[in-house]
Amino acid sequence: MASILKNWAGLTVEKAPPFDVRPWLRLETYWPMLRAIMWAWIGFFLGAWIEAVITWAFDGGNPIGNMIFTPRAMAVGYVFAVVGWFLGGGVLEGWLIPAITGDESWHDTSAIDGPAKFFRFSTDYKSSSVRYTVWVMFSFLVAGLFAMMIRVNLLFPRLFLFPSIESYNTFFSAHGIMMLLGVAAVGLIGGAGYWAVPLMLGSRTTAYPKVAGLSWWFQPIGFMAILLSPLVGGFQAGWMGFEPLGDWSGSGMVLYNLGAATMLLSSWVNGLIFVTSFIYMRTKGLSLSRVPIFVWGIFAASVLLLLFVPYSAVPVLMNLFDEVVGTNFFGPVGALPMAYQNMFWWLFHPEVYVFVLPAWALWLEIASVFSGRPVFAKNWAIAGLIAVAVISIGVGVHHYFTQVKPAEQALFMGVTETVSVPTGFMYLSLIGTLWGGKTRFFTPMLVVLMSAVTFLIGGFTGVFLSDVPANFMLHNTFFVIGHFHYTILGGFLFTFIAALYYYFPKVTGRMYSEFWGHVQAWIMFVAFQFTFFPMFLLGYMGMNRRIAIYLPYLQHLNDVASIASFILGGSFFIALFNFIYSAMFGPKAPENPWGAKTIDWQVPSTVYKAEFQRIPVVTGDFYDPDAKPEDIVKWVDPEWVSQQKTGETGGAH
């Protein structure tokens, strides 16, 4: 077949083989996941019935009908649903049965071709990464739709789209938790992390591959719990789930607690996997000083996750017990409602750094590749990542300055302001990497730059919030909403999109459309500024958070924000269509279109089975612009190959 060479933004690409749609139309491609969904539903009703029968046996009442939707029945049903979902998805044949019989044939995917390998429980980290990325894109669109509905309602001072204030409250609560735990916590770590980090470490697998394979499976079911919570009453307590309001605002709160705890477990597992892989799975020659900086970013985030997820998962579960078991941890009378906030924020502040630490590290990777320069002051950048991770542990109180006593206000103000110093190291490193370079403005580079500028604004508005006198005015106003959207979207989400463009050629083997990439990036960037900058002004003008109706003097700025937000939402669809179309019909990507030197770009594209027959041994610096890939990594045969060749059997295997 003659290959037609064309010019793709200065690179030479070939025409790719045509897209084969037939595997996507076969039912057996989707089989394990469909079975998982079925078993989850069966599990839910089975669990709810069992609980209802037990309660009927002890307490009386009507076992048919409404007793299976009491909070306790839903909780038990949910646990059974999770078990059913795992088993159906392949944990039964892939983990339980091998644990008993030793038959690991489920994991031999060499006979499975095409997309079927994505729809099953699998220990392959690349497969996990694709599942995470696609699921995150789906979650983002759903939660983003909720955000669009919120902005439609806020076009007018009166209730507009929603039938009641309670439904509005339910929607913003769900939007928050779905975005934070379903998108931000797992987008870069689950997506780019699982793809790039084991490859960058030169290892064939992560540590604990079965646990790693399981981590994605927590996400969809937790997400569904949140999404389906309006069916059982919704929850109005915001994404933080604060008591005592949580007890009195809808029985959907039970599903919030369960769903949030489940999604947190996913993050916890990711933390475990990356910490252990970083320590134990580095290949030969990969000393700590040679480890690529993206791995350091993921590592810093993973340490935070590993240590601190229980700080938040525990109060969420205590919340659940308040609702289903009858404890009184956080009620208004005879309990400690403030304790929930203290415990909750001890994870959730480090959690926001979990979102951005991999993003900062990815800025430096991408900037280094596209500017032709090494990462400037790399050791300072690594120190910055670690320092931010450490300092972020002790700043949680800044989320509730107005509720604590003056001594705490002063102390945590000091610590919070200090975190800006190591954050500055990332900007030092980024500026130094770009300064004097030869910048090629491919879409990932452009989006990284937009991300850096946007996060800078978000970071500086954080200084306002960390300063207690200013915080007294701004706490819980739209200023805060502007601040965290600037930092999370600017820091995490823009970088996630840059990572999508950056890794697209390696993951799909095709090139996306560079023109539409630039169009999408600019529309997204400009619309973003017009959406969220007015919120800073609205905060000072007296608009507080979480209100479905507001006073008419605030309408003008709200309209600006709303209309810009519709444009922002539309821009994501441009990216989505770009990716879907290009994945099917784009031109064939070269093996290493950007010229990166890390190992993730030195393996062939779209290889899922049997890569790493040879072992990479690192002999040079990944960031040396003049080095060729063969100077940095040598591929050697593993011992058993060389033994075969010489005919020796060696000693113990």
Rounded Cα distance between 323 and 343, Å, is 18
* CB-facing half-sphere around the CA of 534: CA atoms within 13 A: 17
Considering only residues 122 to 181 of the shown chain, the ones binding another protein according to CB under 8 A are 157-159, 164-166, 169
**Strand partners of residue 195:** none
Asked if 29 interacts with another protein (CB under 8 A), we say no
Which residues inside 362-391 make contact with another protein, applying CB under 8 A? 369, 371-374, 376-377, 380
Interface segment toward another protein; rule CB under 8 A; list 9-17, 134-142, 308-316, 317-325: 9-17
Which x/- pattern over 56-95 shows residues binding another protein (rule: CB under 8 A)?
A: ----------------------------------------
Measured from the CB of residue 123, what is the shortest distance to another protein in angstroms? Answer: 34
Cβ contacts of 198 within 8 Å, gap of 6 or more: 125, 204, 205, 206, 277, 281
- 35 belongs to the binding site for another protein (CB under 8 A): no
What is the torsion angle, in degrees rounded to the nearest 10, for the CA atoms of residue 358, residue 363, residue 364 and residue 369?
Answer: 130
What is the total count of residues that contact another protein (CB under 8 A)? 99
Sites for another protein among residues 535-564 (CB under 8 A): 537, 540-542, 544-553
398 contacts: CB under 8 Å, gap ≥ 6: 349, 412, 413, 416, 465, 466, 471
Q: Select the residue interacting with another protein from 469, 604, 647, 651 (CB under 8 A).
A: 469
CB atoms inside a 10 Å sphere around CB 455: 26
Alpha helix locations (H) across 586-632? 629-632
Q: Give me the least distance between CB of 583 and another protein, in Å please.
A: 22
428 near another protein, judged by CB under 8 A: yes
Q: Is 442 in the site for another protein (CB under 8 A)?
A: yes
> 304-333: which residues touch another protein (CB under 8 A)?
332-333
Does 501 participate in binding another protein (rule CB under 8 A)? no
Output the CA–CA distances (angstroms, integers) from residue 244 to 180, 329, 475, in the order listed: 22, 10, 20
Q: CB atoms < 10 A from the CB of 26, how many?
A: 12
Pick the binder of another protein from 449, 493, 499, 511 (CB under 8 A): 449
**Residue 460 is a binding residue for another protein (CB under 8 A):** yes
Distances in whole angstroms, Cα of residue 246 to Cα of each of 144, 156, 233, 314, 628:
24, 28, 12, 16, 58
Least distance (Å) between residue 433 CB and another protein:
9
Q: Choose between 55 and 461: whose C-beta lies nearer to another protein.
A: 461
Residues 391-420 that bind another protein (CB under 8 A): 400, 402-403, 406, 409-410, 413-414, 417-418, 420
- Residue 432 binding another protein, by CB under 8 A: yes
Stretch (H or E) spanning 318: helix 293-324
Scanning 48-56, 289-297, 444-452, 519-527 for contacts with another protein by CB under 8 A, the matching segment is 444-452
Q: Give me Rg for the CA atoms of the chain.
A: 25
Closest approach of another protein to the CB of residue 474, in Å: 8
- Does 585 contact another protein by CB under 8 A? no
The Cα–Cα gap between 393 and 353 comes to: 10
Cis peptide before 406 (omega within 30 of 0): no
User: Does 625 contact another protein by CB under 8 A?
Assistant: yes
Question: What is the residue-wise DSSP string for 487-543?
Answer: HIIIIIIHHHHHHHHHHHHHHHSB---HHHHHHHHHHHHHHHHHHHHHHHHHHHTTP
Kindly tell me which of 133 and 368 has the beta carbon lying closer to another protein. Answer: 368
